Amino acid sequence: MIEVNDPKLTSWVPVEAGSDFPIQNLPFGVFQKDDHHPRVGVAIGNFVLDLYALQQDDYFGALLIPDEAFRSYTLNALIKTGKFKIRALRFAISMLLRSDNETLKNSANIYGKYLIPMEEVKMLLPIEPGDYTDFYSSIQHATNIGKMFRPDNPLLPNWKHMPIGYHGRCSSIVPTGTEIRRPKGQIIYKDGDAPQFKATEQLDFELEMAFITHEGKMQGLNITTEEADDFIFGMVIFNDWSARDIQRWEYVPLGPFLSKNFASSISPWVVTLDALEPFRIPGEKQEPEVLDYLKFNGDKNIDIHLQVYIEPEFADPTLVSDSNYKYMYWNMAQQLAHQTINGCNVRAADIYASGTISGNEPNSYGSMMELTWRGANPLTMSDGSERKFINDYDTVFIKAWCEKNNVRIGFGEVRNKILPAFKQ
């Protein structure tokens, strides 16, 4: 067991029962207070621990991490320092925050200089990704979508032989709290013979998680499933917004384009892969047997509880999906191994989304496309209104957490409100 994950650890910082951010978590993010330069912080209870302030007072001197890694608009520079340096940093932070360590606890102006209430800061997009891959790795989701369009052959022949994915758009990845405009595009109706240009009528969320990488190997070399964990920094919640009616018209022959690239949103705190170690579990048996480069040892799936809520503008939120990341057919190690098997290089702060996560029960499906079965079975909101897809002024938010031995390792949430399409 990694010492920092010990469920017996407690902190002198007050942490409410059920908090996403106990001392066993210590996720990294980028925050801004007032008009000050953005800094890297760690979440502990309802506070942000200012790592730049600690660096300036020489709490991390032995780690030889440059100042610019802590005073930055992104985590990119910190991620580039590598897995083992960040592991050492997380250990040093844990030591400072433990109940039996008074080194930091007795510092002057501790609340304000080092610990800042979360409500006083603005959380920024934690990374600047250079590349983004979206996988399609939930067998239930792939089967559901296949049944809608190919009832006699839901899964295409290649699906069980490799993790299917496509390269997405980095520039439109946004942080939680960003308002998203309804996108426009070409739409064709069943009884029409020509497309129309208009705002999507089938705006959808996609419940996903994503992992963020460290710097990889040189171009031409691959990362094996056994090496993959050393190249993964951590995970965030990922909402891959989709316009289903635009997607249906454009996705043949080259896959999604305008239906996906208008927005994807992520949670602000990156939970390290180390913090998720206690929650590893076996995945589904993969049949037929995979090729050698996709074989792996040990438990590679992770038990992460996932919930999606829709909140109409003047009503209470409604839980619409209660799912789990454990349903993934292809795991992160296999995804990264497949991404690089042809010599593709990965870089620090690249992001890899899981694809929509759907469980075996209808209430665990990860998109409105599935939950309402293409709109045939609308969902009822708390105010009595119905949803086939997402309406203007709806807010969609996703929560994610792991829980075991009375320790909850949470990701916070990703929350976004939908605004009407721009008029042109």
- Where residue 393 sits, what CATH number does that domain have? 3.90.850.10
**Terminal Cα-to-Cα distance of the chain (whole angstroms):** 58
Structure confidence at residue 218 (pLDDT): 97
Residues 6 or more apart whose CB falls under 8 angstroms from that of 41 comprise 28, 29, 30, 31, 48, 49, 50, 51, 116, 121
74 and 34 in a common domain: yes
Domain C-terminal end among 91, 123, 155: 123
Domain boundary among 99, 123, 147: 123
Task: Please give the pLDDT value at position 178.
Answer: 98
Strands 132-135 and 351-353: parallel
Distance, CA of 340 to chain centre: 21
Q: Please check whether residues 106 and 141 belong to one and the same domain.
A: no
165 and 116 co-located in one domain: no
Asked whether residue 155 is assigned to any structural domain, the reply reads: yes
> 424 lies in a domain?
no
156 with 31, same domain: the answer is: no
Q: How, if at all, do strands 305-311 and 318-324 pair?
A: antiparallel
Q: Which domain covers residue 326, as residue numbers?
A: 132-419
Q: In tens digits, what is the pLDDT along the chain, a chain of 424 residues?
A: 789 999 999 999 999 999 999 999 999 999 999 989 999 999 999 999 999 999 999 999 899 999 999 999 999 999 999 999 999 999 999 999 999 999 999 888 899 899 999 999 999 999 999 999 999 999 999 999 999 988 888 999 999 999 999 999 999 999 999 999 999 999 999 877 899 999 999 999 999 999 999 999 999 999 999 999 999 999 999 999 999 999 999 998 988 999 999 999 999 999 999 999 999 999 999 999 999 999 999 999 999 999 999 999 999 999 999 999 999 999 999 999 999 999 999 999 999 999 999 999 999 999 999 999 999 999 999 999 999 999 999 999 999 999 999 999 999 999 999 999 998 7
Domains: count for the chain: 2
- Looking at the whole model, is its pTM more than 0.85? yes
Residues 37 and 179 in one domain: no
- 33 belongs to a structural domain: yes
pLDDT at residue 42, rounded to an integer: 98
Hey, which residues are catalytic here? 141
In terms of DSSP bridges, do strands 264-266 and 173-175 run parallel, antiparallel, or are they unpaired?
parallel
Q: How far is CA 183 from CA 133, 172, 306, 381, in A?
A: 21, 12, 26, 23
Q: How many CA atoms lie within 13 A of 226 on its CB side?
A: 3
